[in-house]
Amino acid sequence: MDHLFTAFAGRMASFAGRPAAFILALACVVVWAALGPIFGFSETWQLVINTGTTIATFLMVFLVQNSQNRDSAAIQAKLDELIRSIEAARNEFIGIEHMTDAEIEGIRTDLEHQSGRTVTVAPHRTIDRLLRRR
């Protein structure tokens, strides 16, 4: 069952991010809007689009979340392998994604202090500083 859902979720998430999916959704909205005068812009007519979009959104949340979880786990495994394979790297960083936010923030702060920099700037400035290093 896991393999089937993983394959299905991956394909659906991939399709949902393509222009064809947007065009299909747009076509549905155009058809719905064109049918408005025929149905007198009734409450039922409005309910059709509301129900359809709610169901689609509800289901897509689970499919996209599954794909993101899988991608994140794969990236973490790759990073763990890099840490493990580089002799100078500290192996205690392997698996830190399982720690709490506070524990990870503590590690980040310690690393910034060890590098001689303190966290006195906003996060976006930290990113700008990182980009300037290039």
pLDDT of res. 38: 95
Query: Which structure tokens are listed for 125?
Result: 């400035």
| pLDDT at 111 exceeding the cut of 90 | no
Q: pTM for the complete prediction?
A: 0.63
pLDDT of res. 28: 95
Tokens 């979340």 sit on residue: 65
| pLDDT at 70 exceeding the cut of 60 | yes
10-39 per-residue burial string, b: 16 or more CB within 10 A, e: under 16: eebbeebeeeeeeeeeeeeeeebeeeeeee
pLDDT of res. 73: 92
CA-CA distance, 63 to 57, in Å (whole number)? 10
Q: What is the mean pLDDT of residues 97-101?
A: 90
Q: What is the mean pLDDT of the chain?
A: 88
